[in-house]
Structure 1
């Protein structure tokens, strides 16, 4: 989305809906201006946004509020708490004129004061902490900042579901506290759950990586953390389940080109096969809606196979609303309808055309002004009926009612300033940063360093004193910054030399002082990498190298060093650091991503051994020549032999890598063991005599299994069968540590176009020195072993499937034989 930030807030300002009580453009003209001014003072004063004093008016349907604005609340059915939300929402919408309705269909709504409805700003962000991007949440006065967690790519590297949920819970606590203080919204357009298909994508830092199952798992847990209220999960009708705050799955769908060699997201047409849609691009969103019960989905700027996503009836209404049963609303990425008209020029649309088509497709809310400008005209032109507007408004107001915007949420009323930037939240931010650090190299167990032996430390490089760079984009104002040199200062006497003017490192004039500093130290830590000048929204990368003279800086320090050199990379996307990986004098390499406000402390704690790293790479690190082998605009996941394209992501890539997906080392050593004597697990599935079976296309027909049924469409199966896989994770090293246990499935050999392997399970476990932890995975046969064929059928093939637990040398293999019988 387009990012706009507000850096100032009047500490006396009331929440958006309260301020709007006196500023709404729809207020009756009969009210004298002098009274408006007096009312403004009364409302602002009664809000009492001073220090930690709570608001008197925290919701719309407060009798005192209605009295103050000259209305009798008992006359307004939408404020009757005894009625269902849908009845109340319909009553509210029915009271509006068409001209008033369309004013409520942009992210900045005007409200309708004559019926007691205040304005509301829908746009708030919480990608990795409450942000001031958008207008719904702001900083200043009683709320100078909020906890800034590591970027999502870092959180993904922890492979820790419970941690993902805890991050969401903590962010929503702070969001509710900010709302109580008049500085926070309730609807947050997060998380970003697009799969990273290409390593050049500039928004990689916002995402959980390249595996659809991992991305979807992150989405489910983060959204649950944001939205869920304890004790309300068994609500009879999920459409009315109370929400703590509202989350949004974005950007739907097949969106991962921002700006690359003249191609931008506003005009890009993503040409995607149904196979790739079902297998890669759609699953995270389906999981987010169906398992996470997200209350919103955001459609993306691009077209998919010729149709703008925000105007695609099949993608929005048919899929999200009907097939996945969304309990919430669909919103556009900001100014998407304007993009349809000006950039896509789809069907030579006017604004009325584009607005009508988007509304009919299922788009409830326009982040922007196009709906407000064009919907009334579309009604008068006969392109849509007013009832379609009513449906969308009803969807929107039901979500606000679930949030307590109208009735309040007493269970969160006590949250206030002490719940923002609390000690617990700051410690969680540090824990996420440490769990997400990935150890890529540790020659001869150089790490961890001993503080008694390595007392003088040179900390050099463009990120050695990083602060804002650590929190990346969609960031608010953090509670504080702990830079790398600050973090290391608690362990050693630190000498700092930047080595580069900035990340772009356009000249080598600062290299020699950094080399000198390294020569006087017991060890040197080089903190290098990328930042938002290289990879960001609206900015894709053109290569996979370190910018400018960074490689020269690292190499010269290593060549002249007589003491250990440790390289720390801050980046989201992979970087070709083969030169450092193979350099004998660079003893250790760590990836720290964009580690958030506590990043410097986390990096230092890992390098000096206070914390044993256990993170894994959530995406493949490719060699630099990858970008010369295929254009970013090709969305095919499988190799294309006729063009020489390698495959994309670990599932299909057929070349060599710098580091593979899920790679990561530890300061200790783990071994996997199983007590299972038989390595073949039979799964017998009974089918009816008239069951329709599908052919499976094998590269060699002779290896096709002899069976009465090569495969069955998943929709035709009960999918009740499961396979239990158990492994013991033994810590045979000399330190306690966390281990990420990955589980992959592999389809029967020889199926044309099938993935090499795919993640079907993972678990992060803590194992004490010399201890063993048993881990059990229950794999649903359809979810774990189905494939999508070339024409878009999701089928479960018969034959021998592989199950691999672990990576590299510590892999335990099983086989699952699926057999159909009458």
Structure 2
């Protein structure tokens, strides 16, 4: 197809002539009247082969109906019994954005377990909750975004640079680890029924995608054929070939000149032709509009060209949120011969194949997953599992013997993340069932009398982690006599969409949709609500709004920052930044919020809080003072998912639109640590971050460091168990902790030269695979053949012994190096790993088999070639280059 068509712009900007299921004027809709669905229709016959059923259903659709099904928010085709469906749902580390669900550690923490079997348990729990919630929503008439069964997870991009804010969503920097974790996660999501999918998983973002966030819509990344085959493709190939993943999402950026969602090389030649992928492809949201956006790729001049390009390349669903759907122009593209109707049919059939596999056209009793009860959501078993996984995800980076803490130790919990909800959940998360902050977990384990606390500082600048609910002591209203009474007057309104006004993007302006008068009025002591049902009519699927009015009377003077999901006015003025308040003075307060669930489906279970923080206090002085009486300081620092993440607005020193410009600890925290260090007390640092941190000073000056990542809703409980030795740390780093980004190439450089443990030649702070334990493990009796033939597998066995005094789990890692390769190859590569639990003094014989394909090398044209020569291998607690015997064993095998 000509991808730079030259039709006049005024014509190309026209949208498709097809207008929707009610009928169109295009050629394909003429002829016999549409046929309504009956029970005798072949597509409803469960005895027929799936392709035949899909073909029959699609053949009954008009052109406009078919095009409408290529949007992420596909409308109903009522005459055919096709329900409306939104393909967009998320389950990165728990069912996300759909209300209450068990929140597991963020993906980077899941990777730190190095336990693929455990990850399949996690994904199975997630898919249990996903099925239960989907059917609950369907039973209550909810078919919005985040209610479906197609989950846009996992994210298996390679975390090639620590500056990338979305790296927290990945399984780290290694293709093999990423692929194996993806395999387990996808298996757990999709289930093991031979006929039906439990849910549909998605591997994203294909491909060559890992920042920067702020320029992802316009960047063109160059990747050599060698880097593609060696690093960027393997995890996706595992997801497609081994896990049979149902869906793939293409990325925003260009790859070697072509948009990822329009790349023949990616979507046709690699994904479908080479790997045999037969599922559906979804665009990242708005990615197809980037084809013609002047501020993005700007490669074509109008939507019809972009739609045709993406569809012919193999993109089946246009997620067009925020910019409507570019695929709405497919009818016009068809008229202008940019595409054939068969191209549309192919995409629609792929989509309905998935819907049939999910059982959406079959009797519920035929589908084994339809009876999973809502009681599984946040069940005792799932909460116990997330606690177990959180324990295994934390990595002990350094320990001079201060850990584990002795019973009765008096600790001072200092730091901005002690009560920060964001570090529990990371991004792409659900609403926890039982969120336990670090402080709460430590207090529960150590006893209230043994714990003092002070936040100590902001996270950075005006970003604080210790916002608190504005308490009832500060909130009042006036009665009819003008007397000040406790609580805010709350007016609960029905929604009247007929009164609503719409913005330029055709979305309702929520505040305009309130009914003329409230359904009821009451007094609320504080604003801290979570609704699973509408307070107006007790329905699951009900819109409503609330307006709180009253008087704020601060108990202490200061400069306050407020955080709330609603619209806040003080003395009639919108509250944006810090507000100076005087103790005892009265300030009129109005807070309002509207929840339009029938319109947008977001949020499905609304919540609102009115929180604040007094920024005027001398937090550092308070922290130093309370720490004087403690025996050990536990510093809960790092960053949070409110600083790093997807295309954010944050612009602070070290942070740029979700990415990072350096990886040092924010200076306000570093300065606080220096003051605490001067007290001469042991300091245990718990670092929360979704990415590597350059903890150089901390490594030299602190007694112990725990890398916690974002550990899920059981964070506090798991952390306390680890600190006091109830759990023995076994996590390993899935990324390299560098000393500085100055040691790395340019962030936008997509070559792997001097990146990740496989290619980096400099000195690192903590290597990939690193992690300490409270016990010791030794490797002995390594047995490998002296030589093997080309194409022969490599069998390895070794004895692992827990030579310490505590039971513990060990992550055994096998690395290979190919020093005789005729081209440049990775310095070393992970080829196998295993988690083993051993009692003190116990031994186990471990066996590994490395397939011959995993001993091949990639030549400069991107082709895997059989290897001949020496193979240097290590088996141990991490990369052998960073260990000493007996933490690893090594040998050399020759392939002749």
Q: TM-score range by the shorter chain?
A: 0.7 to 0.9
1:433 aligned onto 2:390: yes
SS at 1:803 equivalent: strand
Tell me if structure 1 keeps the 8 A contact 2:454–2:626. Answer: yes
Residue 348 (structure 1) shift: 2.6
Residue 517 (structure 1) shift: 1.4
1:732 aligned onto 2:803: yes
Residue 534 (structure 1) shift: 2.6
SS at 1:298 equivalent: strand
- 5+ residue gaps, structure 1, are 1-23, 30-69, 133-137, 140-144, 233-240, 639-646, 686-718
Q: Which residue of 1 aligns with 2:209?
A: 255
Deviations 1:702-726 (A, max 9, x none): xxxxxxxxxxxxxxxxx4x211101
Distance change >3 Å, CA 735–CA 106, structure 1 → 2: same
Matches within 5 A, 1:149-548: 149-182=104-137, 184-230=147-193, 232=194, 241-259=195-213, 264-342=215-293, 343-368=295-320, 369-407=324-362, 408=364, 409-443=366-400, 445-452=401-408, 454=409, 456-490=410-444, 491-492=446-447, 493-504=450-461, 509-538=618-647, 539-548=658-667
Deviations 1:406-425 (A, max 9, x none): 11354223212211100000
Give the distance between the partners of 1:91 and 1:587, measured in 2 at CA: 68
Distance change >3 Å, CA 186–CA 304, structure 1 → 2: same
Residue 344 (structure 1) shift: 4.2
Deviations 1:528-568 (A, max 9, x none): 00112331112210001112311111121122133x21100
Q: Which residue of 1 aligns with 2:60?
A: 95
Give the distance between the partners of 1:760 and 1:110, measured in 2 at CA: 46
Q: Which residue of 2 aligns with 1:632?
A: 747
1:608 aligned onto 2:679: no
Distance change >3 Å, CA 735–CA 411, structure 1 → 2: same
Residue 782 (structure 1) shift: 2.0
Tell me if structure 2 keeps the 8 A contact 1:27–1:112. Answer: no
Q: Which residue of 1 aligns with 2:844?
A: 773
Q: Which residue of 2 aligns with 1:816?
A: 893
Tell me if structure 2 keeps the 8 A contact 1:28–1:113. Answer: no
Give the distance between the partners of 1:251 and 1:264, measured in 2 at CA: 16
- RMSD of the TM alignment (CA)? 1.9
Distance change >3 Å, CA 750–CA 404, structure 1 → 2: closer
Tell me if structure 2 keeps the 8 A contact 1:290–1:324. Answer: yes
Distance change >3 Å, CA 334–CA 675, structure 1 → 2: closer
Residue 372 (structure 1) shift: 3.6
SS at 1:534 equivalent: coil
SS at 1:412 equivalent: coil
SS at 1:74 equivalent: coil
1:582 aligned onto 2:537: no
Q: Which residue of 2 aligns with 1:571?
A: 689
Residue 471 (structure 1) shift: 0.2
SS at 1:812 equivalent: strand
Give the distance between the partners of 1:345 and 1:525, measured in 2 at CA: 48
Q: Which residue of 2 aligns with 1:62?
A: none
Deviations 1:310-354 (A, max 9, x none): 001121022112211123111111111101110444543421111
Give the distance between the partners of 1:72 and 1:774, measured in 2 at CA: 62
TM-score calculated relative to the size of structure 2: 0.74
Q: Which residue of 1 aligns with 2:857?
A: 787
TM-score calculated relative to the size of structure 1: 0.81
Tell me if structure 1 keeps the 8 A contact 2:150–2:200. Answer: yes
Tell me if structure 2 keeps the 8 A contact 1:102–1:371. Answer: no
Deviations 1:13-37 (A, max 9, x none): xxxxxxxxxxx973699xxxxxxxx
Give the distance between the partners of 2:742 and 2:239, measured in 1 at CA: 31
1:747 aligned onto 2:807: no
Deviations 1:422-444 (A, max 9, x none): 0000111111110011001110x
Deviations 1:57-83 (A, max 9, x none): xxxxxxxxxxxxx96623422111111
Tell me if structure 1 keeps the 8 A contact 2:221–2:253. Answer: yes
Tell me if structure 1 keeps the 8 A contact 2:870–2:895. Answer: yes
SS at 2:21 equivalent: coil
Farther off after superposition, 218-227 or 542-551: 542-551
Residue 287 (structure 1) shift: 0.5
Give the distance between the partners of 2:693 and 2:39, measured in 1 at CA: 63
Give the distance between the partners of 2:661 and 2:705, measured in 1 at CA: 24
Deviations 1:422-472 (A, max 9, x none): 0000111111110011001110x21101123x0x22111010112233101
Give the distance between the partners of 2:664 and 2:723, measured in 1 at CA: 24
Give the distance between the partners of 1:88 and 1:504, measured in 2 at CA: 59
Q: Which residue of 2 aligns with 1:38?
A: none
Give the distance between the partners of 1:468 and 1:532, measured in 2 at CA: 6
1:593 aligned onto 2:719: no
Tell me if structure 2 keeps the 8 A contact 1:733–1:769. Answer: yes
Give the distance between the partners of 2:285 and 2:319, measured in 1 at CA: 4
Q: Which structure's residues are more often helix, by fraction?
A: 1
Give the distance between the partners of 1:559 and 1:682, measured in 2 at CA: 58
- 5+ residue gaps, structure 2, are 1-18, 25-34, 139-146, 464-614, 648-657
Q: Which residue of 2 aligns with 1:554?
A: 673
Give the distance between the partners of 2:662 and 2:49, measured in 1 at CA: 55
Give the distance between the partners of 1:412 and 1:607, measured in 2 at CA: 40
1:648 aligned onto 2:750: no
Tell me if structure 2 keeps the 8 A contact 1:195–1:209. Answer: yes
Give the distance between the partners of 1:266 and 1:672, measured in 2 at CA: 49
Q: Which structure's residues are more often strand, by fraction?
A: 2
Give the distance between the partners of 1:503 and 1:422, measured in 2 at CA: 37
Give the distance between the partners of 2:168 and 2:204, measured in 1 at CA: 14
Give the distance between the partners of 2:20 and 2:458, measured in 1 at CA: 50
Tell me if structure 1 keeps the 8 A contact 2:821–2:868. Answer: no
Q: Which residue of 2 aligns with 1:759?
A: 830
SS at 2:268 equivalent: helix
1:667 aligned onto 2:774: yes
Deviations 1:86-134 (A, max 9, x none): 11111111111111111110100012112221111110000000012xx
SS at 1:657 equivalent: coil
Q: Which residue of 1 aligns with 2:485?
A: none
Give the distance between the partners of 1:818 and 1:72, measured in 2 at CA: 64
